[in-house]
Amino acid sequence: MKMEEMSLSGLDNSKLEAIAHEIYTDLVEDACLGLCFEVHRAVKCGYFFLDDTDPDSMKDFEIVDQPGVDIFGQVYNQWKNKECVCPNCSRSIAASRFAPHLEKCLGMGRNSSRIANRRIASSNNMNKSESDQEDNDDINDNDWFYGSEKKAKKRKSDKNPNSPRRSKSLKHKNGELSSNSDPFKYSNSTGINYETLGPEELRTLLTTQCGVISEHTKKMCTRSLRCPQHTDEQRRTVRVYFLGPSAPLPEAEGSVENDSFDVAESQALMSRLQWDGSSDLSPSDSASSKTSTNNSESRKTKKKKPHLSLVGAAPGLSSNKKKKPKPPAPPTPSIYDDIN
Amino acid sequence: MNKDAQMRATINKKLIETGEQERLKELLRAKLIKCGWKDQLKAHCKNVIKEKGLEHITCSNFDDLVAEITPKGRALVPRLCEEGTFSKNKNFPCSVCQPLR
C-alpha cells in the first residue's frame, strides 16, 4: 500500500496524460485486433467477398447519364408515337388512346354500357310511336359502323356528351364537335335540343317529358312530367311557347295514352265525358292520382280540363291541379258555373 | 521507472477489476462503428487481401495481417473519438487514486 501511496503523490498532469494515452492505445489496438479476427475468419470461411457484385453485373446496372433517357437507360415516351391497328374496326389508333377506343369499339366496359342504356332510354322516349323497338336497338348497337346509312335521323356522334372527353373537345374546338352540327341528330344527354325537332316530335316529347328548357344548356328537360326540378308553371310555359296557346297542357298529357292531344281530339273527349264515361278518359288526373280521387271529384275535374283546353282560358289551372287536392285558381269557379 | 511501471500495473489491474476496461472498450467500439471507422478499415483489408491473394492470407500467419492493419487503424481513428476516450481515460486513474488516498 505504501508504494501505491507514493505513486499517488508522484502523479502529476503529464504523467496522468501519459497513462491515459496508454490506456487509449490499448483500447484502439484491441478494436483493431477484433476486426482482424473477424476478417480472418471471414476469409477462411469464404464469405468475405460475398457482398461484392461481380464486374459484369456492375456494368449492366451502371447509371446512365445521357439526355433523353432515364438513369436506367429507358426512353421516356417510347410508346407515345406508336400506332396500333384495332382488331375490331381495323383502324390505326394511337397507343395511348387504344384502350378507351377498344372499350367503345367492342361495346364492353362500364362506360359503353352506360351510354348504350341511356341511348336506348331516350330513343324509346322519342321514337316509340315512330319506329320499332328493334330498330332502335340496332341503331344503338351499330352506331359505330352504320354511321349515316340507316336512317335520316341517325346519330352520328361517337362522343358521349357526358364523358370527360367531351368537355375537352368542347373547350378546344368551341363546341363544334357537339351534337348540334347535324340537323337530324338529337343528343344523348339529359337534355334535348329542341331546335332540331319537328312539331310532331315536339308534341310527342312534351306528352311524356318535362320539356322545360334549361337556361344554361338551352335544352329541354327529359325527366318525367313530374320532375322536381321544374314547376308546372314552367312546363306550361314551354308548351305554350312551342305549340301555341291551344297547346294541350302537361296534365292532359300525363295519362296512360301517350298520344298527342289535338284540339279535335279533346272535343271528342269532352263529349265523351259529358256522357259520364269511364274514368279512364280523364285527362286531368295524373296517372297516379287517377284511382285515388273521388269519382265525383274526378268528374268535375274531367269536365274542367277539356273545357279549358278548348277555350284556352285559365292557364294556371292545370299546373295547380297536379298533385294538390285543394281547389284551383280563381277563374275556375266561373267555368264551373258555365258547366253547371 | 519502476514506480511508474508499478503504477501502471496497478491501474491496469484496477481497470480490469472494476470492469472499467470492458466498459471503455465497448464505448470505443461503438464510437468507431458510428463514425465509420470500421467500414473504412474493412475496405482497406479488402484491398490488402486482393493484393496479397486470398490464399496467402489464410495460409500465412495471422500476425502479418494484424501488422498490416493495426497502424492503418490507429491512424484512421477520428479526432473526436480519440479525444472523447482520452478524457475518460484521464478520469479513471484519478478515480482509482482517490479511494486509495
pLDDT digits (tens, 9 = 90+) for A147-157: 445 444 445 44
Instruction: Please judge whether A7 and B74 are an interchain contact, meaning their C-beta atoms are less than 8 angstroms apart.
Output: no
Is B24 a domain residue? yes
Find, among B39, B44, B100, B88, the residue nearest to A23 by Cα.
B88
- Does A42 lie at the interface with B, CB-CB under 8 angstroms? no
Ranked by mean pLDDT, the top range of A23-37, A57-71, A129-143, A237-251 is A23-37
Residues B44, B12 within the same domain? no
- CA gap A202, B99 in Å, rounded: 113
Chain B residues touching residue A24 (CB < 8 angstroms): 82, 85-86, 89
Phi, psi of A260 (to 5 degrees): -70, 145
Instruction: Please judge whether A43 and B54 are an interchain contact, meaning their C-beta atoms are less than 8 angstroms apart.
Output: yes
Given phi > 0 = left and psi -120 to 50 = alpha, else beta, which region is A298? alpha
Is B88 a domain residue? no
How close is the nearest chain A Cα to the Cα of B60, in Å? Answer: 11
Residues B67, B51 within the same domain? yes
Q: Is the pLDDT of residue A285 over 50?
A: no
Q: Is the pLDDT of residue A36 over 60?
A: yes
DSSP-derived secondary structure for B54-101 = HHHHHHS-HHHHHHHHHHHHHHHS-HHHHHHHHHHHHHHHHHHHHHH-
Number of domains in chain B: 2
The predicted pLDDT at position A195 comes to 66
Instruction: Please judge whether A32 and B69 are an interchain contact, meaning their C-beta atoms are less than 8 angstroms apart.
Output: yes
Segment among A16-20, A131-135, B14-18 with least mean pLDDT: A131-135
Is B101 a domain residue? no
Beta-sheet pairing, A220-221 with A191-192? antiparallel
Residues B27, B40 within the same domain? no
Is B51 a domain residue? yes
pLDDT category of residue A334 using cuts at 50, 70 and 90: low
Find, among A113, A83, A76, A78, the residue nearest to A97 by Cα.
A83
Q: Determine how many CB atoms are found less than 10 A away from the CB of residue B55.
A: 9
Residues B11, B31 within the same domain? yes
Give the residue-averaged pLDDT of A304-314: 45
Residue of A16, A21, A24 best to disrupt the B interface, most CBs of B under 10 A: A24
Instruction: Please judge whether A24 and B89 are an interchain contact, meaning their C-beta atoms are less than 8 angstroms apart.
Output: yes
Range of the domain at B7: 1-35
Closest CB to A43 among B49, B82, B93: B49
The more confidently predicted of residues A3 and A244 is A244
pLDDT category of residue B76 using cuts at 50, 70 and 90: confident
Does this model's pTM top 0.80? My answer is: no
What are the tens digits of pLDDT across the range A64-90? 788 878 888 777 777 767 888 888 888
Find, among B101, A29, B31, A15, the residue nearest to B23 by Cα.
B31
Residues B29, B42 within the same domain? no
By C-alpha distance, the chain B residue nearest A36 is: B66
Give the residue-averaged pLDDT of A298-307: 46
- Does A36 lie at the interface with B, CB-CB under 8 angstroms? yes
Chain A residues touching residue B90 (CB < 8 angstroms): 16-17, 20
Residues 6+ apart with CB under 8 A from A12: none
Beta-sheet pairing, A83-85 with A220-221? unpaired
pLDDT category of residue A287 using cuts at 50, 70 and 90: very low
The predicted pLDDT at position B68 comes to 83
pLDDT category of residue A305 using cuts at 50, 70 and 90: very low
Is B45 a domain residue? yes
Chain A residues touching residue B3 (CB < 8 angstroms): 3, 6-7, 10
Residues B41, B20 within the same domain? no
Instruction: Please judge whether A31 and B28 are an interchain contact, meaning their C-beta atoms are less than 8 angstroms apart.
Output: yes
Instruction: Please judge whether B100 and A4 are an interchain contact, meaning their C-beta atoms are less than 8 angstroms apart.
Output: yes
Is B4 a domain residue? yes
pLDDT category of residue A94 using cuts at 50, 70 and 90: confident
Residues B21, B31 within the same domain? yes
Interface of A with B in 47-66 (CB under 8 A): 48-49
Give the residue-averaged pLDDT of B40-62: 81
The predicted pLDDT at position A193 comes to 64
Find, among A290, A282, A285, the residue nearest to A266 by Cα.
A282
Instruction: Please judge whether B45 and A39 are an interchain contact, meaning their C-beta atoms are less than 8 angstroms apart.
Output: yes
Residues B49, B74 within the same domain? yes
Residues B49, B27 within the same domain? no
- Predicted ipTM? 0.87
Is B84 a domain residue? no
What are the tens digits of pLDDT across the range B31-50? 889 889 999 999 888 888 88
| DSSP-assigned letter for residue A245 | T
Residue of A28, A41, A44, A50 best to disrupt the B interface, most CBs of B under 10 A: A28
Instruction: Please judge whether B29 and A40 are an interchain contact, meaning their C-beta atoms are less than 8 angstroms apart.
Output: no
Give the residue-averaged pLDDT of A297-315: 45
pLDDT category of residue A145 using cuts at 50, 70 and 90: low
Instruction: Please judge whether B89 and A40 are an interchain contact, meaning their C-beta atoms are less than 8 angstroms apart.
Output: no
Chain A residues touching residue B38 (CB < 8 angstroms): 35
Residues 6+ apart with CB under 8 A from B18: none
Give the residue-averaged pLDDT of A312-318: 44
Residues B42, B29 within the same domain? no
Q: Is the pLDDT of residue A265 over 80?
A: no
Residues B46, B60 within the same domain? yes
Closest CB to B89 among A6, A10, A20: A20
Is B5 a domain residue? yes
Q: Are A56 and A49 in contact (CB under 8 A)?
A: no
Segment among A95-104, A247-256, B77-86 with least mean pLDDT: A247-256
The full length of chain A comes to 340
How close is the nearest chain A Cα to the Cα of B34, in Å? Answer: 14
Residues B21, B40 within the same domain? no
